[in-house]
Amino acid sequence: MIAPSILNADFAHLADEIAAVAGADWLHVDVMDNHFVPNLTLGLPVVESIRKVTEIPIDCHLMIENPDRWAIGYAEAGAYNVTVHAEAVADPIATAANIRAAGARAGLSLKPGTPIEDWVEVLKHFDTLLVMTVEPGFGGQSFMAEMMGKVRTARNLVDAGELSVVVEVDGGIGADTIEIAAAAGADCFVAGSAVYSAADPALAVARLRAAAQRAVPVR
Ligand code: DX5
Ligand code: ZN
């Protein structure tokens, strides 16, 4: 699955920018609060408006403090998946249950410095694992290939039936790096600048998907 991140879109023309990636699987929306990360982006009113202009499932990535308090609102606003950060959430199991009860899938994200091993039991309560392949906060950073160990661990746990999460990667994904993440076992690929800096964003999505499919190992 390819999930274009609107972080690199033109926010003054957001509906058009979303229409330009009509073939996408998920629409990745980066919510940043200037506290959990230094950057500030958008919040619930914008997600509510986006929901009205697209049928693409909305994938909310909450880079915010106190997601226990705020995540449920994004689920109630109609997000398909709501992801909170392991480093910010106080009660991940309760928050996952609240997100699911409000009708969305629940995701847990790990910053590059956060080991997956500490979170395997908690991940049994989640539907999505978002492995950050950059430090969260900004688009256009370089892909951290050293995160592929985390992706492989997650893939193995899913294939062994110990977890049932979508394995999503976020940060620095482009034509040159998506094959590395696909070969390591990722299922879903967030791409911001690789999609929105392309002349034809829909074509960029299709090309990324084809590149990922080519790289998937026979299991
Ligand atoms: C970074 C965000 C990403 C960002 C990715 O903190 O979580 O979703 O939009 O942008 P690129 O694909 O340009 O690295
Ligand atoms: Zn993101």
The model's pLDDT over 30-60, given as tens digits with 9 standing for 90+, comes to 999 999 999 999 999 999 999 999 999 999 9
61 Cβ inside 6 Å of ligand 1: yes
Q: Name the one residue in this structure whose structure tokens are 């392991």.
A: 86
Q: Is the CB of 107 under 6 A from ligand 1?
A: no
Instruction: For residue 31, report the distance from its CA to the centre of ligand 1, in Å.
Output: 11
Say yes or no: CB of residue 33 within 6 Å of ligand 1.
no
Judge whether residue 219 has pLDDT over 90.
no
Tens digit of pLDDT for each residue in 157-209? 999 999 999 999 999 999 999 999 999 999 999 999 999 999 999 999 999 99
Tokens for 17, please give them: 């920018």
Stated pTM of the model: 0.98
pLDDT score of 180? 98
The answer on pLDDT for 11 being more than 80 is yes
Mean pLDDT of 74-79: 98
- What is the model's pLDDT at position 217? 67
Dist CA 196 CA 102 (whole Å): 31
Rounded Cα–Cα distance for residues 117 and 101 (Å): 27
Residue 78 CA to ligand 2 centre (angstroms)? 18
Q: Which chain residues have CB less than 5 Å from ligand 2, an ion?
A: 30, 61, 170
> Does any ligand 1 atom lie closer than 6 A to the CB of residue 201?
no
Query: Catalytic residue among 25, 59, 170, 187, which?
Result: 170
Q: pLDDT for 91-120, tens place per residue?
A: 999 999 999 999 999 999 999 999 999 999
Residue tagged active-site, from 25, 30, 127, 187: 30
pLDDT at 216: 86
